[in-house]
Amino acid sequence: MVSLMSLDIVILAAGQGTRMRSALPKVLHPVAGDSMLGHVIHSARQLNPQRIHVVIGHGAEVVRERLAADDLNFVLQDKQLGTGHAVAQAVPELTAETVLILYGDVPLIEVETLQRLLKQVGPQQLGLLTVTLDDPTGYGRIVRDAQHRVCAIVEHKDATETQRAIKEGNTGILAVPGKQLGDWLGRLSNNNVQGEYYLTDVIEMAVKDGLVVATEQPHDAMEVQGANDRRQLAELERHYQLREARRLMAQGVTLRDPARFDVRGEVTVGRDVLIDINVILEGKVTIEDDVVIGPNCVIRNSTLRKGVVIKANSHIDGAVLGEGSDAGPFARLRPGSVLEARAHVGNFVELKNAHLGEGAKVGHLTYLGDAEIGARSNIGAGTITCNYDGANKHRTLIGEDVFIGSNNSLVAPVDISSGANTAAGSTIHLDVPPGQLAVARQRQRNIEGWKRPVKIKKDV
């Protein structure tokens, strides 16, 4: 059956996570640059619910502060008395026909898996996500009758030896008709080994009420893997990265080594992209066709147009690199930097809020901040823009076809017009008219007979 019903989503995120040995609430520990809970919320949003309810407890204020958004309703669970008790805290807020229950420490769940699960829900049917494992230790077991119909879930600690031999485990992810949920939760008992109110007991109640429990399974068991300690967190991280690597390779990216590549955000790629080892892509990154990224680079919130080359050990943050431009090795492009087509930034060059025109060149050992550099201009080695006076930032304007000599200090605000030149070793603080050469340095004096200082030996 296909469900077109209204949807509320409840995300359980109240646990302390003592095995993390951390002051940070468990659900805020990061995977691929976002918190585990952040990943779950991102997936939940793609299902277009009418509301997302996040049940918080341990570190509630920190969780609320980090993830506050208009579409999130935070519900406090003062005492952690089990998953059933947690969901019950959100019941007064639930108004949709279908309720989907997710977990804040299960960050790899795929939207497509949840969509398949939701299609199972109707007035007389609920959807349960299960997983078949060689070793389901710790998982509640799915108990089925002679007709292979789900009749109950038994928690691992309460299971008999026969039940523990069952390979099908409960993931905890559940989609149910909203009208019945409140009634079932109100009938829960904590008469079990843990002394908790288990959400899993809802399954047996639903069966007794005549509902069918339909099951779905994830394509990949790691989708439903949670993290209770740092080791499991690292396993989730590596699995996420391998999944992203496979996705990008399927779209036309060559990765020199998929095991040495990290995505920590949203990446859009073209075809025939080559990415070397130890590259990290963070935030929102767009990479067009024929881009080459060398080893040990970090690209954050940037756009690389067709044919861009980023050489080894470069850091690109909040920049736009035009078609056929290049940067590095050891280049740093800070937010607001723009390279037009075929512009060149070489080794040990730093740009901040600087715009390089088409074909402009900044070869090496240079800092350009708050600067506008015209097409085809060449900036000599060791040049800096002195853009900060201790209180305010000022811009340096360099026209087209300008030649800036090596070891220049350009004291902003200053305007060097098209076709102008500056001599090596100059400190330029006045505007330079078109076509002129600016020389701003002291005349050299050679002192005859000068004696080099001798180091004075100190008594021990």
How far apart (Å, rounded) are the C-alpha atoms in residues 399 and 437?
A: 14
One DSSP character per residue, 340-374 reads -TT-EEEEEEEEEEEEE-TT-EEEEEEEEEEEEE-
How far apart (Å, rounded) are the C-alpha atoms in residues 370 and 395?
A: 5
Identify the CA nearest to 399 among candidates 421, 381, 427.
Answer: 421
DSSP category for residue 202: H
Q: Which residues pair with 287 in a beta bridge?
A: 269, 304
Which residues are catalytic, by number? 364
Report whether 73 contacts 23 (CB < 8 A): no
Contacts of residue 319, Cβ cutoff 8 Å, sequence gap at least 6: 302, 303, 333, 334, 335, 336, 337, 338, 339, 351
- CA end-to-end distance (rounded Å), the chain: 92
